[in-house]
Amino acid sequence: MIRALIAAILAGGLAVGALYGASEYLGVGGTSVATGTTATSMTDDDAPAADGAPVFTSVYTRHDVANDDDCSVAFDDSEYGAIGYACESGHDGITVWISDFDARMAVSYGPDGGNEMAANQTLPPFNTVGDTIEWRLRDGEAFATILRWYTSVNEPDGSMYEGQVLVVTRLGQGNTCHVARIDALANDNANALAREAADSMASDFDCASDDIATIGTRGRSW
């Protein structure tokens, strides 16, 4: 699956846009998380629920592909310059699958995450991903993630614009994929927008038929 994606990108036959620092590491919402630990938080955006309404909260985990105790190599394809990792530091034992190919990255989740749609979804510009995942929970159960992508966008004048994008991914066996993107530099309230998108869109999102949404100001990050 990854091999086919890489081959298409390198051959120019696939429109990628149609696909879907220091000793402390800041989470998506500014929470500091150590590798292999989980930090729980009710964010400022999470108001107490009315009686009978679902309760939304966030937890944060951090992964480190260089740490053998955290991540193992799932595939290594030197011919295409691609490598993938399976990381066991996800919330509640959920496996995090991270692949790096053609200077772009993809992240998927779950026991068969390498075969989920999210495993083949990236952003058009060259990119890397952050190492802290925000997991959105409804009544204590994870249903979506928010992860920051760092992009390098070629500008018309030949310069490089360094962007940041928050990607909302829905969770679910056989239905794990990108739901929404938020330009984290063009929107001052990007974290709140990402959580709102996760809470209102992820559960009903159909990976096979629904289009990834751009939330807030489009910006220049992808």
Task: Read off the pLDDT of residues 40-85 as tens digits, 9 standing for 90 and up.
Answer: 555 556 656 667 789 999 999 999 998 888 899 999 998 888 999 9
When the pLDDT of each residue in the chain is averaged and rounded to a whole number, the result is 85
Has residue 33 got a pLDDT over 60? no
Tell me how far apart the alpha carbons of residues 165 and 182 are, in angstroms, rounded to a whole number: 6
Q: Distance (Å, rounded) from C-alpha 14 to C-alpha 7?
A: 9
Position 5 scores a pLDDT of 46
Per-residue pLDDT, 29: 47
In what order do the strands lie in the sheet containing 82-87? Answer: 71-77, 82-87, 96-101, 104-109
Q: Is the pLDDT of residue 4 over 90?
A: no
End-to-end Cα spacing for the chain: 24
Q: Which of 143, 153, 211 is nearest to 183 (CA)?
A: 153
Closest CA to 125 of 177, 178, 162: 162
Note the pLDDT of residue 79.
85
Q: Which residue spans within the chain are E strands per DSSP?
A: 38-41, 56-62, 71-77, 82-87, 96-101, 104-109, 126-129, 132-138, 141-154, 160-170, 177-183, 213-215
CA distance 61 to 54: 22
Tokens 């691609």 — which residue? Answer: 82
Contact 14, 8 (CB under 8 A): yes
